[in-house]
Amino acid sequence: MNYWLMKSEPDAFSIDDLEMMKSSPWDGVRNYQARNFMREMRTDDIIFFYHSSCKVPSIVGTAKVSKEAYPDHTSWDENSAYFDAKSTRDNPRWFMVDITFQAKWKTPLSLKEMKSDHALVGFKLLEKGNRLSILPLSREHAQHILMSQT
């Protein structure tokens, strides 16, 4: 099993939205490295759901990968903000996964708290300039973060 952090702006798609929907595709990713991370995801991998670009950026809950990477159909829709003329059904450029809600945390783990936690040294989210919307976590970092919620 692997662990991932997926960022979303809560005014666009929040943990509450995912909880209400139960499952949702994670579409619209248009960064090659983030896309490649999604292609590495496997069913039942753990997702740390992170609210970004908000007052208190935080991990706010968890989800699981419920469907492995498949072509992102929004790249073929000319009316979509995620349309990419170079992506075709025969040669898709972009992929998505489905995620399923697992838990909303009573106490979110803020970016500020994570930065002050020496056990999280090396966690990619905390490195300067790392703006990817999807990041892998080591088992040690993931377990440490999960322990903070018990």
CATH no. for 3-147: 3.10.590.10
Is 150 a residue whose pLDDT tops 80?
no
**Model confidence pLDDT, tens digit, residues 38-71:** 999 999 999 999 999 999 999 999 999 999 999 9
**Model confidence pLDDT, tens digit, residues 25-40:** 999 999 999 999 999 9
What's the pTM value of the predicted model, to 2 decimals? 0.94
Neighbours of 108 (CB within 10 A): 19
pLDDT of residue 128: 86
Which pairing describes strands 23-26 and 95-110: parallel, antiparallel, or unpaired?
A: antiparallel
pLDDT of residue 36: 98
Strand-by-strand arrangement of the 3-8 sheet = 23-26, 95-110, 58-71, 46-51, 3-8, 134-137
Give strand ranges (E) for the chain: 3-8, 23-26, 46-51, 58-71, 95-110, 134-137
Domain residue limits, the chain: 3-147
